[in-house]
């Protein structure tokens, strides 16, 4: 470590170059003309060429545990979604009849808990469609609840090590500079207090501050026209639905957005009179629904896609199953024929899940229905041969909307693997990176996450950003640049108690996080916090916790955090809408978290 007298004097050439590089990165990120990963990687290469980043360390960030954990968490999150574990939680706890306070409290609570144990961007991406659908059913604007949900998922990410990338980065920096990382739940005491205070504010006061909500302005979300299909789902042996009446399904179907049309038993169709019919194993329930709603209803009611003979062919798929939407042209193999006639199931291991024929009611069983030109088909096919099926049929695929098939039979294995990994990592029995790697491999072996989709769930721009910024941050540290910044902040708070320096660091970090990527902010601010603590001769842990809270809490703009960007369009928000709820929330976070840090992490 450099002597403080050296770092507080004139800046060295290396420090000037690194400050210029970081300034350029921040300016480019604010401009937004180029994607953040390209900007960061370009800065890394420039640093190597200028000699401020050693060439041997140029790509060390791509093998850094922080980078690996972020990638692994995204895959694990996808597995929890694919298994139906998260769907089970949302179906159990979400109700459109609740008032807005209760809805925000419950959805925000779910979002915060999920964000603590999975990537908070993934948690929001999962819950956002649920929140929008609930708002429509309740007759209120999505904008009234989407911003509170986004803020709740951001707050929840502060609770654990894996909840948000800044926590992972700060733990890595602590290990590199102080010899020991933070454990899984070291962030929990401060994170829980701060998140709880933030959620209470958002649910009671915050949503009322969103412009246009109280006045009933239009949310401005874009409606995407989605085909509604006639489909069939079968009642399997041993189902809890056996013996219940078909009419008992209507309430659950309405909540999901599915319309129950009738019942097929022994080849005979029953419609209106079927409401009072008790269900038996092998019955086919006739439905009209959009693909996502159909899959959600199937998973929630534990129904099967088709009869057992056809599902046996599908269960052999190595890479999992995919839902494909295709349009039937005149020269298609299936045009004017049925799926049974062309042997779709036994030749291609594919089941026709549904047919969308606008304005026309289908009155025959799906596999016996003659397909017509212009029909839209919903096909369930093995992922590894989906393209071959489309080519064999001679149909035209619609734009890929990422229609995943929920493997609800694998809920408890998915939860069990993940819970075991968190437990082992929490007690220090296994390194977190290794534990998450084992979970990913278990998900692949058990086909919770199909092998062909494994790398699709990794957000590669984030990986490149981390891999590029970590060596730059290390170079700034070794050059004495972080000590220089710490010296400036310490001089600013000279003669004041240490908690004043802690507060100034939090405010400065939070301000940066509102306009920059929170990952980049954490990489720069954490070493500064350690240097400030060493200058003041106090423990560095409270300063690192201050950075962790501040780097995560970006509530003033839609660019400070990806979750805020995700809700911009669906919520009908403008750039200047965020600060109205975000500014008082950030003030509250500082007011609550600083005392909590001083209690749980004394100076």
Give the span between the Cα atoms of 539 and 446, in whole angstroms.
Answer: 45
Q: Which of 2, 30, 66 is nearest to 471 (CA)?
A: 66
Confidence grade of residue 313 (pLDDT, cut at 50, 70, 90): low
Q: Which is more confidently placed, 421 or 300?
A: 421
102-116: average pLDDT: 89
- Average pLDDT along the chain: 79
Confidence grade of residue 129 (pLDDT, cut at 50, 70, 90): low
- What pLDDT is stored for residue 7 in this prediction? 42
Q: What's the whole-model pTM score? A: 0.62
Q: How long, in residues, is the chain? A: 603
Read off the pLDDT of residues 396-445 as tens digits, 9 standing for 90 and up: 776 555 555 566 678 888 888 988 887 787 676 887 788 889 999 999 99
- What pLDDT is stored for residue 567 in this prediction? 77
Read off the pLDDT of residues 374-402 as tens digits, 9 standing for 90 and up: 888 888 887 777 778 888 888 877 655 55
Answer whether residue 256 shows pLDDT above 80. Answer: no
| Burial class of residue 505 in the structure, from the number of CB atoms within 10 Å of its CB (0-12 exposed, 13-18 middle, 19+ buried) | buried
Give the span between the Cα atoms of 601 and 595, in whole angstroms.
Answer: 10
The position carrying tokens 């003041």 is 536
- What pLDDT is stored for residue 341 in this prediction? 86
**Residue 577 contacts residue 214 (beta carbons within 8 Å):** no
Give the span between the Cα atoms of 113 and 116, in whole angstroms.
Answer: 5
Read off the pLDDT of residues 520-543 as tens digits, 9 standing for 90 and up: 778 888 888 888 888 888 899 999
Who contacts 247 (Cβ-Cβ below 8 Å, separation ≥6)? 275, 276
Top mean pLDDT of 63-67, 224-228, 393-397 is at 393-397
| Proportion of the chain above pLDDT 70, given as a percent | 83
Q: Which is more confidently placed, 569 or 287?
A: 287
Who contacts 339 (Cβ-Cβ below 8 Å, separation ≥6)? 345, 351, 352, 366, 367, 371
Which secondary-structure segment (H or E) carries 260?
A: strand 259-265
β-bridge pairing 229-234 and 376-382: unpaired
**Residue 553 contacts residue 547 (beta carbons within 8 Å):** no
41-47: average pLDDT: 93
Who contacts 425 (Cβ-Cβ below 8 Å, separation ≥6)? 183, 184, 431, 432, 435, 436
Which secondary-structure segment (H or E) carries 376?
A: strand 376-382
- What pLDDT is stored for residue 219 in this prediction? 38
Q: What are the DSSP calls for 435-503, one per residue?
A: HHHHHHHHHHHTTSS-GGGGGGGS-HHHHHHHHHHHHHHHHHHHTTHHHHHHHHHHHHTTTS-HHHHHH
* Radius of gyration in angstroms for the set of CA atoms belonging to the chain, rounded to a whole number: 27
Half-sphere exposure of 137 (CA within 13 A, CB side): 17
Domains of the chain, earliest start first: 229-408 (3.30.70.1450)
Give the span between the Cα atoms of 375 and 176, in whole angstroms.
Answer: 60
Answer whether residue 221 shows pLDDT above 50. Answer: no
Read off the pLDDT of residues 147-198 as tens digits, 9 standing for 90 and up: 999 999 999 988 988 888 888 889 988 888 888 888 888 899 999 999 999 9
Q: Which is more confidently placed, 143 or 407?
A: 143
């Amino acid at each position: 470590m450099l002597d403080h007298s050296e770092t507080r004097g004139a800046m060295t050439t290396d420090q000037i170059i690194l400050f210029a590089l970081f300034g350029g990165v921040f300016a480019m990120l604010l401009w937004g003309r180029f994607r953040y990963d390209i900007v960061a990687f370009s800065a890394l290469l420039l640093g190597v060429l200028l000699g401020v980043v050693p060439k041997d360390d140029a790509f060390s960030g791509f093998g850094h545990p922080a980078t690996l954990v972020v990638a692994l968490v995204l895959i694990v999150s996808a597995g929890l979604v694919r298994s139906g574990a998260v769907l089970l939680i949302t179906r159990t706890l979400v109700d459109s009849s609740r008032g807005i306070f209760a809805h925000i409290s419950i959805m925000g609570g779910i979002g915060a808990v999920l964000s603590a144990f999975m990537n908070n961007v993934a948690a929001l991406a999962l819950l956002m469609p649920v929140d929008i659908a609930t708002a429509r059913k309740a007759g209120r604007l999505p904008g009234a609840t989407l911003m509170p949900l986004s803020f709740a998922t951001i707050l929840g990410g502060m609770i654990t090590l894996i909840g948000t990338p800044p926590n992972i980065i700060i733990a890595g920096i602590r290990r590199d500079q102080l010899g020991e990382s933070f454990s899984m739940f070291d962030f929990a005491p401060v994170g829980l207090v701060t998140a709880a205070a933030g959620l209470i504010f958002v649910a009671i006061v915050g949503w009322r501050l969103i412009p246009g909500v109280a006045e009933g302005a239009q949310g401005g979300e874009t409606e995407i026209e989605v085909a509604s299909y006639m489909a069939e789902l079968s009642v399997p042996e041993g189902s809890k639905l056996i013996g219940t009446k078909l009419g008992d399904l209507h309430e659950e179907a309405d909540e999901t957005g599915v319309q129950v049309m009738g019942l097929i038993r022994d080849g005979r169709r029953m419609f209106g009179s079927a409401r009072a019919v008790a269900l038996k194993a092998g019955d086919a329930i006739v439905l009209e629904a959009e693909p996502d709603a159909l899959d959600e209803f199937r998973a929630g009611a534990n129904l099967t896609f088709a009869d057992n003979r056809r599902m046996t062919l599908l269960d052999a798929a190595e890479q999992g199953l995919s839902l494909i939407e295709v349009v039937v042209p005149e020269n298609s193999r299936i045009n004017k024929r049925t799926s049974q006639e062309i042997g779709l199931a036994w030749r291609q291991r594919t089941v026709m899940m549904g047919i969308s024929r606008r304005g026309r009611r289908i009155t025959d069983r799906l596999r016996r229905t003659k397909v017509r030109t212009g029909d839209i088909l919903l096909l369930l096919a093995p992922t590894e041969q989906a393209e071959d099926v489309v080519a064999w049929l001679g149909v035209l695929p619609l734009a890929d909307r990422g229609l995943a098939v929920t493997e609800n039979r694998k809920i408890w294995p998915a939860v069990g693997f993940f819970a075991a990994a968190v437990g082992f990592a929490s007690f220090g029995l296994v390194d977190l990176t290794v534990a998450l790697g084992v979970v990913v491999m278990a998900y692949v072996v058990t086909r919770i996450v199909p092998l062909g989709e494994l790398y699709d769930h990794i957000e590669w721009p984030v990986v490149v950003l981390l891999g590029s910024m970590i060596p730059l941050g290390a170079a700034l540290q070794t050059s004495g640049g972080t000590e220089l910044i710490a010296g400036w902040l310490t001089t600013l708070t000279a003669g004041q108690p240490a908690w004043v320096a802690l507060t100034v660091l939090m405010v400065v970090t939070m301000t940066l996080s509102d306009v920059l990527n929170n990952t980049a902010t954490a990489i720069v601010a954490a070493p500064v916090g350690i240097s400030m603590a060493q200058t003041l001769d106090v423990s560095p842990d409270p300063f690192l916790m201050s950075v962790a809270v501040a780097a995560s809490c970006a509530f003033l703009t839609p660019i400070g955090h990806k979750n805020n960007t995700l809700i911009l369009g669906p919520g009908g928000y403008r750039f200047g809408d965020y600060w109205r709820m975000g500014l008082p929330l950030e003030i509250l976070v500082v007011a609550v978290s600083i005392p909590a840090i001083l209690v749980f992490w004394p100076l």
